[in-house]
Amino acid sequence: MAKADLSTHPEYRGFCMGTSGLDRYPAYARLRTEDPVHWSELLNSWVITRYDDVHAGFVDERLSANRIPVIMSQVPPDMRERVQPIENHFGKWMGMNNPPEHTKLRDRITPSFAPKVIGRMKDHIQSIVDELLDEVEPQGRMDLMDDFAFRVTATVICDMLGIPREDQNRFRRQSEDIMKFLGGSPATMAQTIEQSQKSLMELIPYFRELIGKRRKNPRDDLISAFVQLEKTGNGFDDEDLVAMCIFLFFAGHETTMNLVGNGFLAMFQNPGEKEKLRQDPSLLPTAVEEFLRYYSSLQRQVRLVSEDLEIRGRKISRGQGVMLMQGAANRDPEVFDDPDRLDITRKPNRHLAFSVGTHFCLGAPLARLEGRIAFGTVLERFPDIRLDCAVEELKWHPTMTFLSMKSMPVRLR
């Protein structure tokens, strides 16, 4: 694909601007076929789209997870000093660190997300889903994103952390602003970063206060458990603990919320698969994996090149940014038969929605469980649920990193 073609191609430009919604998939297909290791002038980064290359990139130690310099390079120079606090904070997130610091942070929280521990949450998650559906049932309709997907996933992670339920809705705007920072493009960074920092500065004192309360009166929640680690000498310092809490709150609901929304959208577009799943709930595990592949909540991960390397004959230099496009890799026809077709029985399904290697998503068991319960319960209670607008009318958050709808009106019967 010639650069001249790309620079004028509307789907490609929309993808680079983070405004393409589902239109990103044709752009992915062209990149995979014609320029799978592509230097993007618009993004000032390499864009990697084939499955084998993305998979290899996740486990290549020369591609550093400490990607804050790549993100901050998109900020206009005259703004850098004003937004130093946001750079300092996100540099402490577990997902932004490499071993050994990443290992130290991950080891402290891994026991709380072990599959056996998450499995014991099944009844609790089911009760949350049932309660929310009871609320919307009389109206016969809902906004699937606001009334259900967000509230289910936010309630689950808030209960785990120990955030009072009455406080969870106050964080919706802040969460969306963080998404704009982590998922934006150079074209939008100047317009969004100061609001993102403002929202972050609203979250930090809240969590500091909550941590202080748990130090005085521990409860059966994650923040109390993290505080108790201080007695073993293996605890967090104050700033690291605040960063971990905000990271878990954001990561604990954002991608799973989109899994639920995107999974239902995939079913509405493919009513035969929806009916197949409704009639046979035993397909829920493979259906969730297919939703993760088909409309991946997390579409890319950014890496910083720590030493020169080569991919498919293209020389990539130290200090450059690399975008590992999970959303494109999960539609690679070299790996997935008929990849643009939704198949809830697909096996094997070696999607990269949760990454691989050191940074494999710690919350994968929780996301899968929430997805199975959400899809299964809604289809059982509302077998005729359907989208209440045209797919083309759906509005998407302007982000490259996430595939995230702003709202999704549905009729329940």
Q: What is the full per-residue pLDDT of the chain (413 aa) written as tens digits?
A: 444 456 567 777 777 776 668 989 999 999 999 999 999 988 889 999 999 999 999 999 999 999 888 888 888 888 888 989 988 998 999 999 999 999 998 998 999 999 999 999 999 999 999 999 999 999 999 999 999 999 999 999 999 999 998 887 778 888 888 888 887 777 777 778 888 899 899 999 999 999 999 999 999 999 999 998 887 877 788 899 999 999 999 988 999 999 999 999 999 999 999 999 999 999 999 999 999 999 999 999 999 999 999 999 999 999 999 999 999 999 999 999 999 999 999 999 999 999 999 999 999 999 999 999 999 999 999 999 999 999 999 999 888 899 999 999 999 98
* DSSP strand pairing (37-40 vs 45-48): antiparallel
Q: Is residue 68 part of a domain?
A: no
Q: Is residue 328 part of a domain?
A: no
Q: Is residue 257 part of a domain?
A: yes
Give the type of residue at 271.
P
Say which residues have a Cβ less than 8 Å from residue 407's Cβ, sequence separation at least 6: 143, 145, 146, 394, 395
Q: Is residue 45 part of a domain?
A: no
Provide the whole-model pTM.
0.94
Distance CA 88, CA 93 (A): 10
Q: Which structure tokens are listed for 41?
A: 């002038």
HEC readout, 138-203 = HHCEEEHHHHHHHHHHHHHHHHHHCCCHHHHHHHHHHHHHHHHHHHCCHHHHHHHHHHHHHHHHHH
Q: Structurally, how many domains does the chain consist of?
A: 1
Q: Is residue 140 part of a domain?
A: yes
Domain at 240, CATH number: 1.10.630.10
- Is 150 in contact with 142 (CB distance < 8 Å)? no
Q: Is residue 321 part of a domain?
A: no
Q: Which domain holds residue 81?
A: 74-297+337-411
Q: Is residue 289 part of a domain?
A: yes
Q: Is residue 374 part of a domain?
A: yes
Q: What angle do CA 230, 231, 236 make, to 5 degrees?
A: 10
